[in-house]
Amino acid sequence: MSLPFPSLSAAEAAELIQNGQTIGFSGFTPAGAAKAIPAALAEKAKREHTAGREFKVGVLTGASTGKSLDGALAEAEAISFRTPYQSNATLRKQINAGQVRFVDMHLSVLPQNARYGFLGPIHWAVVEACDITPGGGIVLSTSVGASNTYLRLADRILIELNARHPSSLLGIHDIFEPLDPPARQEIPVYSASDRIGSPICVVDAKKIVGIVRTDLADETGAFDEATPVTDRIGQNVAEFLAAEMKAGRIPPQFLPLQSGVGNIANAVLGALGRSTEIPPFQMYTEVLQDSVVPLLENGRCTFASTTALTLSPEAMAKVAGDIEYYKKRIVLRPQEISNHPEIVRRIGIVSMNTAIEVDLGGNVNSTHVMGKTMMNGIGGSGDFTRNAYLSIFSCPSTAKDGKISAIVPLASHQDHSEHCVQIVVTEHGVADLRGKDPHERAKIIIEQCAHPDYREQLRDYLRLTKAGHAPLSLSLGLAMHRAFVRNGDMRGINWEEYR
């Protein structure tokens, strides 16, 4: 079928985008991210810079992306503003050097903030699709993210039509965009498997100024391998959840799971998959990684709602090869819906996310190393945690060969407050903070979760903090971080030096 839209090369498409414009790109993780046009835009930026002209754009996405988007544009120094999340090393460096303005945002609020006008005008939507109809129906590829919103809000649209993704993905997406207040109604999802919207995005065809044909694989990277530490964390989470079910605090049908990204999340899912005490479960989450595919295959996971299929080429081939099976078991939703507080609270999600550090009050740092250096961003962890039936944060008890303790007196940056953090898990154990006051929380976090090398110095910190509802010392709260900056090691701190 011939399409009524101009066929462009990526370079021709990039030529249309002007300095200072804001672009909403597809991509939630490298899954479904635009690839050819941002890479060509990076080349254009380099040419412009060589010619002595300014060229920078504002980059909005679903979440992180791949090397052809964040990577290439960062290397070309072509990004002025970036939101809501990223994970690229070059871009991270520019953000932390103050060269790129980065706003770290809850992923579920990004689309509404764009609609409300809080992020200014969006000039372009640059979106990957696996199919398109002459009337302006767009079948997205391996993620939805915020693409549906960008397609609707943007002045003009460029489509990367990617032959690598089978057009039989049609039907895996469920596109639903709520009205804005005061007209908004309920989001009618009552179970992870409920479909409430359309399989395609429908846009004003006149806005589509060109189609760029590509055949590029998603630039998904390998996650770190499991280790004895991540396996132990996974096992601790699985045993805790089984015990909660036995105690009647989780219903016998179990509850839908949300799981973060990375090797800890994989280890947790692996352990839950193997558990003989936990019944088959649903997932309501934002990213589906390789580890879920065998669980969907063997029936341990009965359904997975997500906004991104972040699969290795091998796992993606498996899903594509039996697409009708997986379309009955996977739905890709907009991130506004996959992470929506209304649904998270309604269906009673058990949220499982990763912390950079946890402090003795039960506050979690998800974003900043030593309080200053942005890692990736808060992502969806706040959307899920804040509204979960049960919120779990896990991390290895130490980092950098033991030189950094993940359990610290005071978090150097706080993304999740004590009011929303219920369970903390490391390879050493589980701290159940529910119904505990701050002093009890501090003790249980030290004794259950801290690495043994750090327990005595953390107990010393508690002894040094004078009475008060929260065991905080204004002078010593961040002293372990200062010791690391000074000496390269948090261990063996001399508290007196910092008083």
Residue written as tokens 């945002």? 105
Minimum gap (Å) between residue 494 Cβ and its own copies: 15
Token pair belonging to 270 = 């692996």
Rounded Cα distance, 140 and 210, in Å:
16
Residue written as tokens 């696996």? 130
Member of 1, 2, 247, 276 binding its own copies (CB under 8 A): 247
Closer CB to its own copies, 11 or 375, in the complex:
375
Rounded Cα distance, 126 and 139, in Å:
14
Closer CB to its own copies, 137 or 341, in the complex:
341
Which residues, listed in sequence order, are joined to residue 23 by a DSSP beta bridge?
59, 124
Which x/- pattern, by CB under 8 A, does the window 462-491 give for its own copies?
---xxxxxx-x-xx-xx--xx--x------
| Stretch 310-339 residues interacting with its own copies (CB under 8 A) | none
Closer CB to its own copies, 235 or 354, in the complex:
354
Which of 128, 160, 177, 286 is catalytic? The answer is: 286
Member of 42, 203, 311, 378 binding its own copies (CB under 8 A): 378
Rounded Cα distance, 449 and 305, in Å:
31
Minimum gap (Å) between residue 379 Cβ and its own copies: 11
Spatial CA neighbour of 111 closest among 184, 42, 162, 160: 184
Length of the chain: 499
How far CA 430 is from CA of 88, 258, 274, 424, 427, in Å, comes to: 32, 18, 19, 6, 8
Spatial CA neighbour of 164 closest among 214, 212, 222: 214
- By the rule CB under 8 A, 46 interacts with its own copies: no
The amino acid sitting at 18 is: Q
SS3 99: coil
Q: Could you give the angle at which helices 438-449 and 452-464 cross, rounded to 10 degrees? A: 160
Which residues, listed in sequence order, are joined to residue 287 by a DSSP beta bridge?
308
- By the rule CB under 8 A, 242 interacts with its own copies: no
Number of residues interacting with its own copies: please give it, by CB under 8 A: 83
Member of 206, 328, 400, 434 binding its own copies (CB under 8 A): 434
- By the rule CB under 8 A, 3 interacts with its own copies: no
Rounded Cα distance, 329 and 221, in Å:
24
Among the residue ranges 162-170, 188-196, 261-269, 272-280, the one whose residues contact its own copies (CB under 8 A): 188-196
Closer CB to its own copies, 319 or 404, in the complex:
404
CA pseudo-torsion sign 402, 403, 404, 407: positive
| Stretch 86-125 residues interacting with its own copies (CB under 8 A) | 95-98, 101-106, 113, 116-120
- By the rule CB under 8 A, 389 interacts with its own copies: yes
String of DSSP letters for 393-413:
EE--SEEGGGTEESEESS-SS
Minimum gap (Å) between residue 460 Cβ and its own copies: 18
Q: Quote the DSSP letter at residue 194.
A: -
Member of 19, 21, 417, 448 binding its own copies (CB under 8 A): 417
| Stretch 122-181 residues interacting with its own copies (CB under 8 A) | 180-181
Rounded Cα distance, 112 and 123, in Å:
17
Catalytic status, residue 456? no
- By the rule CB under 8 A, 456 interacts with its own copies: no
Closer CB to its own copies, 46 or 386, in the complex:
386
- By the rule CB under 8 A, 436 interacts with its own copies: yes
- By the rule CB under 8 A, 286 interacts with its own copies: no
Member of 21, 90, 373, 376 binding its own copies (CB under 8 A): 373
In the β-sheet with 364-365, what is the strand arrangement from edge to edge?
A: 364-365, 357-359, 407-408
- By the rule CB under 8 A, 443 interacts with its own copies: no
Among the residue ranges 66-74, 163-171, 370-378, 392-400, the one whose residues contact its own copies (CB under 8 A): 370-378
> Which positions are annotated as active-site residues?
286
